[in-house]
Amino acid sequence: MGTAMFYHLTRSGPEEVLALILPRALAAGWRVMLRSPDPARRERLDARLWLEPEDSFLPHGIEGGAFDADQPVLIGQGPAVNAAQGVILLDGAAPLPGEEALERLWVLFDGADESAVQAARGLWSRLTAAGMAAQYWSEESGRWAMKAEKKAGQV
């Protein structure tokens, strides 16, 4: 079982956090599924990954293309058909059955949205009850810092 990493967004938007996560995941040789139920968010992320960072390109595609299985980063709302080692969940997207076995689940949630905070807490409880390791990251101090950790199988 992998690790779920919860990012409580209070200062940064999802795009800024993705700029940290995605290059590291790709450098590790991982493929990533970026899941959001919001079509407008998916379009914005696609455009942003084409343009930023300015000095590099993050290879990716939008779900529904002919080469979905080949994409290092696949943006969509469905299953990770690109053999992803990690899934990034945005806008309340939920992990699909079996994804707790992936190397990483990243859960990015808006700290200003109480329903998003409650949903993240519920997901933390479900995943850790199933034996998955989890970390809670906060940027309240201005820098990302791990505030809580539950090891795999820990009660």
Q: Contact, 93 vs 111, CB < 8 A? A: no
More confident residue, 146 or 142: 146
pLDDT at 52 over 70: no
Q: How do residues 58-73 score in pLDDT, each as one tens digit?
A: 788 999 989 999 999 9
Residues 6+ away with beta carbon under 8 Å from 125: none
pLDDT at 53 over 60: no
The CATH code of the domain at 3-150 is 3.40.50.10110
pLDDT at 37 over 80: yes
Residue 81 token pair? 């058909």
- The confidence score (pLDDT) of residue 56 equals 63
Instruction: Parse the chain into domains and list their residue ranges.
Output: 3-150
The partner residues of 146 in beta bridges, in order of sequence, read: 137
Closest CA to 101 of 132, 66, 125: 132
